[in-house]
Structure 1
Amino acid sequence: MDGANVSRPEHPFGEQIVGPDGVPPPLFAQPMLHWLANIISSQAFADYQTVEQALAARPPENNGSYRVVPWAKAKENEPVFPKWTAKGRTKIPRTPTSWANQGFGWARRADFVTPVFGMHAARRAVLINANSEVLRFASQNNVHVLANHYLSNVSSVDGAATYLGMQPRTDLAEGFRSATMRLNPGLPQTLPAKEEEELRKSPDFVSLEADVARINEKIQQTTSEEARAELKSERSSLYASLRKLRRERLAGYQERQDPKYEPVGDHEQADWSQGHFDRIRHVLHPARRRLAQTLPLTALPRSEEWVSALKDLVELRNSDCSVAYQDSMRPVDGKCPVESCSLKMER
């Protein structure tokens, strides 16, 4: 995103993307897939409203390399990547900070102890691998900013091969760069009972819980809606402080764990969150269940798997998230499916 305007994309990228081995990355790492899902679900194209229409677009006959796709007038001032809430899409753009926070969470769930995965980290990786266009890509005129804040401290130049005129290796620094994030395949994602109990008995936690209880009592006694709203806002801040204490405690506990590279045995206890998704998969939206299978696949754009994932992403973005996911819980002929109830329901 452009630093001056977070609603506007800054850098182009192509539809086809493959790695050095000629194999495309997993679908979850293909930018075009997620861009199209956001654009189509937002009805941002002026002429293409469905996945089929967008994929059927071709360059005009008099220009065989590209087609300029007009933007819908009503969407020109709306962000490409909006902020999402429990009620769905908003008109507020995702900020670099929100991307960084989400990336931090992804890295932690992927068992990295010290995750450094924000927009700056991704941008830095691009600049390290970039060619002579690096300064233009970085939108910087000062080479010192690039050298001091973006380029890696570990040189990736194969000095011996370059001196001898041999084909240089380009992967020399990969291991060093990834090692700084400290992968621990057995990283616990929740506090054990002992740590949780110690946290709850800590002075800060006890004080915050007492404040929450005090505010809850005031909310019950208050009749003024304005005063009640202020108290609820204060309570939300206290809840945020409690969550922060728990996050900090968990981060400290994770830092102290020794890496466990061997898989957990059949009779060994592992973190419950590692298998949580498999236990709740059956209650999720069908499109979400399919995406759990397709997004890790390596597939080229426009392939069957790629198109399936795109349609599911669009469906999720357009679905009413307040509707029950299970088909058996949806209304039948506008009524509750339970025979003894038959209450009229819209959804």
Structure 2
Amino acid sequence: MAHYYKTIIAMMLMATTASAQENLQRGAIASQVKKSFTTVKELPITSVKNQYRSGTCWAYATLGYFESEILRQTGKTYDLCEMFVVNNDYMDNATHYVRMHGYSQISEGGSCDDVLEVIRQHGICPENAMPAPGSLTGDSLANFKVFFPELERTVSSIVTKNAKAPKAHWQDSVQAVINRYIGSCPEQFVYQGKTYTPKTFAESLGLNLDDYVSLTSFTHHPFNQWFVIEAPYKWRLKPSYNIPIEQLMDVLDKAIDAGYTVAWGGDVTGDFTRTGLAMLPEGVKPTQQLRQEQWDDWRFTYDHVMLIYGKATDEQGNPYYMVKNSWGQSGDFKGIWYMSRDYIALNTTYIFLNRHALNLNISTK
């Protein structure tokens, strides 16, 4: 029996290693590809930022999305504060963990819903109203290498085994760790000569927070219904509306054509290069069935959030999306990625957008 289990484990390790080697090989091949693009549609966005050594793509991408929404509606450019969102969201995450008696995840990751709910509940502030990312720990950008493990230890110690209640005053200890590494959120601040609180500043931006929805496409739930995507970083349990992938891609195309940017959450493993390209291997076709198979066997996961703001074509006329990343000026296109339409169709977990960008039938539902 012991020999049997050893054989099974060895086979599993061989399969895992082979899969990893295949992904590395595909990534190496893709990273050597050099392509040029012709812009078809490009919408205004704010500057590319750098999340650096922090798992906060969700905060950078979604605030970048809201910045582009403000730019679309008012023509005004804002630099909203990611660390304000992170501070409040990690405290909300800790509160959720305690309310779940420890049966929840403490994670750097998040989703577009986190940013929306932080702004709704706590407000927002401009970038310069808080310490610059990394400045409190002697770094030039956000670096959570020491911060998050300490936060994780602090939060996980609140709910002890066989405890009948969480540790007293646990909120103070959690908030102290967060504030020490990324700074305290301001109660009020001055912006362009006017004094605001985070909530009054959020109100001044002109965003209707009820306008934003999440769409997804999976077959383990019925289409044309809402469901909560079962992903570790979706701890707020906010539902997404489920539609066939062809319809979701049509929504994406029409939104961009109508002048709306779209926040994108999905998978960037395997065929997503560090050079600024994301495209599927030759012969791979995105289908509803393949999406579901890869989701169920973990080949496809939810691990990144970015901002889609335009369309382009390559030398052969193949369609791509222009995508703003949060890795600074990296890659061949200085922080911008070109992601093929097929790649997006296969690797999208959800899209997050203004409901006014939807056609009437979906918008009503």
TM-score category of the 2 structures, normalised to the smaller one: under 0.3
Q: TM-score, normalised by structure 2?
A: 0.23
Task: Tell me which protein shows more strand as a share of its residues.
Answer: 2
Q: Which has the higher contact order (CA 8 A, sep 6+)?
A: 2
Computing the radius of gyration from Cα coordinates, the structure with the larger value is 1
